[in-house]
Amino acid sequence: MTKVDPADVELVPKGVDEVARWLAIAMREYEEARLEAGDSAEAADAARIQSEQQFFPDGRLVDEHLLFTVALRGEEAGWLWIGPWRGGSGSEDWWVYDLRVLDRFQRRGIARVVMQRADAIAREHGAKSLGLNAFATNVAAITLYESLGYLTASVHMRKELSGA
């Protein structure tokens, strides 16, 4: 598959109605990823609820956070959510809360372009660092992030106990 021309990738801010539609999809995917990573159904549900309450009170994204549609030549190809980490205005630490390239657009270099733009956006807002979380099962994402200079900051490990 041919790599995308970065000029063909655009980050389009999501409007209020788009955020509402996106939220249901993104939170479902977040909960599913937590289940796949080993959370119980109750823990995954609690994490989703906590995330919605913290970042989307009344269904609206909190101030200082940015949510974009990733568009490839005008067609929706995914999304990017970025903002200050555990703080509001003036935070020097920013976070990529969610990056998703839709399946049919994957393996074209879109995520790389988006992450490079995320770096620039965070810098424009005064960030000195940009962090993210990747579940261990998402090897392709981890490989991309490492190639972009991200270093592992912590490792959360678990194992299933047989017979328990």
40 neighbors 46 (Cβ within 8 angstroms): no
- The pLDDT tens digits for 95-152 are 999 999 999 999 999 999 999 999 999 999 999 999 999 988 889 999 999 999 999 9
Half-sphere exposure of 129 (CA within 13 A, CB side): 7
Q: What is the pTM of this model?
A: 0.89
Considering only residues 154 and 81, tell me which one the structure prediction assigns the higher pLDDT.
81
Alpha carbon distance 51, 30 (integer Å): 10
- The pLDDT tens digits for 65-82 are 999 999 999 999 999 999
107 neighbors 1 (Cβ within 8 angstroms): yes
